[in-house]
Amino acid sequence: MEIALALLVGCFFTVSIYLLLSKYVIRILLGVAILGNAVNLLIFTAGRLTKEIPPIIPEALQVPDGIIANPLPQALILTAIVISFSFFAFLLVLGYRAFQDLNTDDTDSMRFAEPVDEPNPPLGY
Partner 1 sequence: MNQTILLLLLPFLAALIAPALVRVLGEKAAWLLALAPATIFTHLTGYLAPVAAGEKFTMGLQWVPSLGANLSFYIDGLSLTFGLLISGIGTLIILYAGGYLKGHPQQGRFIGFLFLFMGSMLGVVMADNLIALFVYWELTSITSFLLIGFDHNREASRRAAVQALVVTGGGGLALLAGVIVLNLITGNTELSLVLNSGDVIRESPFYLLAFWLIIAAAFTKSAQFPFHFWLPNAMEAPTPVSAYLHSATMVKAGVYLLMRTNPVLGDTAIWQTVLPLFGTVTLVIGTLLAIRQTDLKLMLAYTTVASLGLLVMLTGFGSEKAIEAAVYYLVAHALFKGALFMVAGLIDHEAGTRDVRKLGGLRKAMPITFFAAALAGLSMAGLPPFIGFMAKEEIYYAIAKPDAWSVAITVFTIFGNALMLVIGAAVAILPFFGQKVETPKHAHEGPILLWLGPVVLSICGVVSAIFASATNLLFISPMASAVAGDSVYAKAAIVFHLGVPLTLSVVTIALGCLIFWKLEKARFAMAYILRKIGWGPDHGFDQFIAGTVGLSTKITRIIQNGRMEAYMTTVFLVFGIAVWSSLYIFDELPNWPRPSGLSFYETGIFLLAFVGLLAIIYAEDRLTAIISLGIQGFAVALIFILFGAPDLAFTQFMVETLSVVILALVMTRLTLHKTDHRPFYEKSFDFAVALTAGSAFTALLLAVVQVAFNPALSEFFAAYSRTIAHGRNIVNVIIVDFRGVDTLGEIAVVMIAGLGIIALIRIKGRQPRVEGDQ
Q: How far is the CB of 67 from partner 1 (least distance, A)?
A: 10
Q: How far is the CB of 119 from partner 1 (least distance, A)?
A: 10
Q: How far is the CB of 85 from partner 1 (least distance, A)?
A: 5
What is the footprint of partner 1 within residues 19-58 (CB under 8 A)? 19-27, 29-30, 33-34, 37-38, 40-42, 44-58
Q: Which amino acid is at 1?
A: M
What is the footprint of partner 1 within residues 68-87 (CB under 8 A)? 68-72, 74-75, 77-79, 81-83, 85-87
Q: How far is the CB of 64 from partner 1 (least distance, A)?
A: 5
b/e 19-46 (16+ beta carbons within 10 angstroms → b): bbeeeebeebbbbbbbbbebbbbbbbbe
Partners of 106 in the β-ladder: 24
What is the footprint of partner 1 within residues 95-114 (CB under 8 A)? 96-97, 99-101, 103, 105-108, 110-111, 113-114
Burial of 16 (0-12, 13-18, 19+ CB in 10 A): buried
Partners of 24 in the β-ladder: 106
